[in-house]
Amino acid sequence: MTAAASPRTYPSTTSIVVENVSKDFTLRYHRTFKQVSVAMLRGQDVSDTFTAVDDVTFTVEQGESIGLMGLNGSGKSTLLKMINGVMRPDRGRVLTRGRVSGLIATGAGFHPQLTGRENIYLNAAIMGMGERETARKFDEIVEFADIGRHLDAPVGNYSSGQFSRLGFSVAVHVDCDIFLADEVLAVGDKPFKRKCKQKMEEIRDSGVTLFYVSHAAASVRRMCDRVLVLDSGKLAFDGPADEGIKFLKYDSDADDPELEGENDDEDLGADI
């Protein structure tokens, strides 16, 4: 497991360990030195600290499919970034076993001036794939992304949908032990979303540990057996998927035909 040594040990089947993890951020109310000086002279606050993830503890076994839910700003994306290693917790520790892949932000790691072809190799390298492995999977990645002649155009000229297609395609072709999915289906047309969902189901059924962030109750029910609910940074619920959805009262939207359509398409969103 990737972390400092600890006297506490875990079974070899444990995939993710989150122990008493907290992450703080500082909000600054003024940008310039002049604004800060004026605010201080007036006795106003110039900054504030808030806890995005607050003393969260849980373990995940290899092959589990976990739905991570909560309102926007509850700390979901921050937690995923710490599991991925993009951020470090201020307190507590996060342990992961094996290679971690997935999408925390669509197209993260893409260089806008490089072509789609060049960015496939760049993004794959960031996710831990070697050049030979990327070359071997290149045709599959391109076929799944289905961006046609735009492959050799700079990604800075891509539409949000094309960006999403390419980023998702690279991520799902990485051989990994843990797959993190956040805002994966926030962009794209319905046929592509359907293809993505099918690919996600393949990943889940292959024995990979899946962490799936979503506001859509139907998607969570289909993809996950267990749900974690964050509320203002704290772990408010950890249990079966149906009970987690009821805890959030998301299932009550199913009776509203207007909300039902929105929830089916609104997959994987989080602010913090």
Domain ranges in the chain?
A: 15-39+46-265
Q: Between helices 160-172 and 190-205, what is the axis angle to 10°?
A: 20
Q: Which residues of the chain have pLDDT under 70?
A: 1-11, 27-48, 105-108, 183-188, 251-272
Condensed to tens digits (0 to 9), the pLDDT of residues 215-257 reads 888 888 888 999 999 999 999 999 999 999 999 887 655 544 3
- Give the DSSP letter of residue 115: B
Task: Output the six-digit token pair for 256.
Answer: 């509203």
**Residue 96 pLDDT:** 93
Condensed to tens digits (0 to 9), the pLDDT of residues 25-41 reads 876 655 666 665 665 66
Say what percent of the chain tops pLDDT 90: 38
**Residue 234 pLDDT:** 95
As a 3-state breakdown, the chain gives helix, strand, coil percent values, each rounded to 5, of 40, 25, 35
**Residue 111 pLDDT:** 87
CATH hierarchy code of domain 15-39+46-265: 3.40.50.300
Residue 46, Ramachandran bin (φ over 0: left; ψ between -120 and 50: alpha; else beta): alpha
